[in-house]
Structure 1
Amino acid sequence: MKRFFLAAATLVLSVSMAYAQEQQPASNPKVLPMFGQVAKTDAQQKADEKFLTSCDKSFESRTEASNFFMERGWEYLNEGQVDTAVYRFNLAWLLNPDNYNTYWAFGLVENSKGNTQEAIGMFDRALKYQPNNSLLLSDVGAAYLQQYIKDKKKKSLKQATAFLDRSLKADQNNAFALANYAQVYYYNKKYTEAWDYLHRSRDINIMSLDYNFLADLLAQMPDPKGMFRNDPNAVESAN
């Protein structure tokens, strides 16, 4: 096991150094989902083959290697190093195109950049592998909510609602689905219901709380429970 980790660490270091030496603007396919979905040059294909061969020597399977690079990608994403994270996700995808987590990660990155249509396309790829994954479905719903904010089309809001319904059917305690549903009610001007779903989501997982949305909701209707106040100096009173 120690030998495996040493080999993996060496591989990651070599990949990281190569990436650092070749750091380029965000238009570089290396930092675009699925390498920008563009045809690769002969040199790039040879580099891919070399990388895959190295992984075959360092890991028991390409599935295991793919999962390893996914974990490194999440670590970089949590640190705010988006380009480096996407590069790791690309390596994970190269190792295993059937790793649904790669498409999920690409979707999250695209949605964070405001590229909602691209995000939805990636999420759709992930859903082919995990059609009943509650967290994935709630992320799709969130993407459609972002699309609605951009286009103000009822169709986008209906799509968001449909995916959030599916998400909650799979897991009624999915805090993020409940939080997103609060926004659905908000955009339908049903503020009492929006507060109900916001509190339900917060009670399950406080990390689901979107403070920007909270401010918007407070501007429309005071918190029925009095937990939140429309006061920039106020702090949430309940723990």
Structure 2
Amino acid sequence: MTMTFIRACIIAIAALACVTPSHAETVETAPGVTVTKKTFPAPINEQPFFGFADKTPEQSKADSKFLAEADKLGSREKVFDVAIERGFAHIDRGDFPEAAQRFNQAWLLAPERSAVYQGFAVISAARFGDLEYAEELFRIALHQPKPRRTLKADYGRLLLKAKRPVEAKAILEQGVRDAPEFADGWASLGLARLQTGDAKGACAAASEADKLKRSHDVMVDLALLKRQAACQ
């Protein structure tokens, strides 16, 4: 075997690697919707999409029973709405394991709905620190039916965490129009404006947030924002 032949083989293998890149495995989570298959160190019912786990017969039976009970109540959509609202209420309290369980119930009920992907995006970022996966889910949520009014505010906050304030500001400006009563959106917009050189606009956003019901985290953000922007 000559050196010329060996060299030709190496070049061919390298070329093949360039044209056949590896791809992360994806899974269909609703008709026409695919997401990257990701698992996290937590029980399956506390992970997005049940951690894509193969369920035992007992777990599948429990899912079927849950859906049948929802049907008895007359509307899966109503049960979905309750599950989603409970999930976000648990997020507000910092109870991410319980929130994920409610979002997984919602996914069983209506896997195509935007709020499922928004909820799992928040869980992915806040509990597991996976900002890249969270953004993937937020982007899906933007194109799914019946989005929550707080979707863009939550997405903009993620972009702030990812140190992308220009993109965050554009999303958050839309977010406060969608949900003007959501203090988190105004606080995040204030931070985005401050980080893009608009201290006056940051103080204006802080003033709007002050008029609304605020969580502990929002009040911490606002205190930091006012100090850094030198708000009067």
Shorter chain as denominator, the TM-score bin is 0.5 to 0.7
1:14-34 Cα offsets, whole Å, 9 max, x none, are xxxxxxxxxxx9521111121
Identify the residue that residue 129 of structure 1 maps to in structure 2.
Answer: 144
Larger radius of gyration: 2
Give TM-score scaled by structure 2 length.
0.67
Consecutive unaligned residues in structure 2, runs of 5 or more: 1-39
Give TM-score scaled by structure 1 length.
0.65
Identify the residue that residue 207 of structure 1 maps to in structure 2.
Answer: 214
Equivalent pairs, count: 191
Give, in angstroms, the shift of residue 90 of structure 1.
Answer: 0.6
Which piece of structure 1 moves more, 139-148 or 88-97? Answer: 88-97
- In 1, Cα distance between equivalents of 2:41 and 2:98: 10
Instruction: Flag the 1:200–1:95 CA change in 2: closer, same or farther, 3 A.
Output: closer
Runs (4+) off by over 6 Å: none
Contact 1:66 1:95 in 2 (8 A): yes
Instruction: Flag the 1:131–1:81 CA change in 2: closer, same or farther, 3 A.
Output: closer
Q: Which has the higher helix share?
A: 1
Give, in angstroms, the shift of residue 215 of structure 1.
Answer: 4.1
Identify the residue that residue 78 of structure 2 maps to in structure 1.
Answer: 64
RMSD: 3.1
- In 2, Cα distance between equivalents of 1:165 and 1:55: 37
Identify the residue that residue 231 of structure 2 maps to in structure 1.
Answer: 223
Question: Does 1:166 find its partner at 2:180?
Answer: no
- In 2, Cα distance between equivalents of 1:178 and 1:130: 25
Give, in angstroms, the shift of residue 124 of structure 1.
Answer: 2.3
Residue number among 167, 174, 185 corresponding to 2:193 in the alignment: 185
Give, in angstroms, the shift of residue 38 of structure 1.
Answer: 3.5
Alignment of 1:9-158 (within 5 A): 27-56=42-71, 58-113=72-127, 114-129=129-144, 134-148=149-163, 156-158=164-166
- In 2, Cα distance between equivalents of 1:132 and 1:106: 14
Identity in percent: 26
Contact 1:132 1:166 in 2 (8 A): no
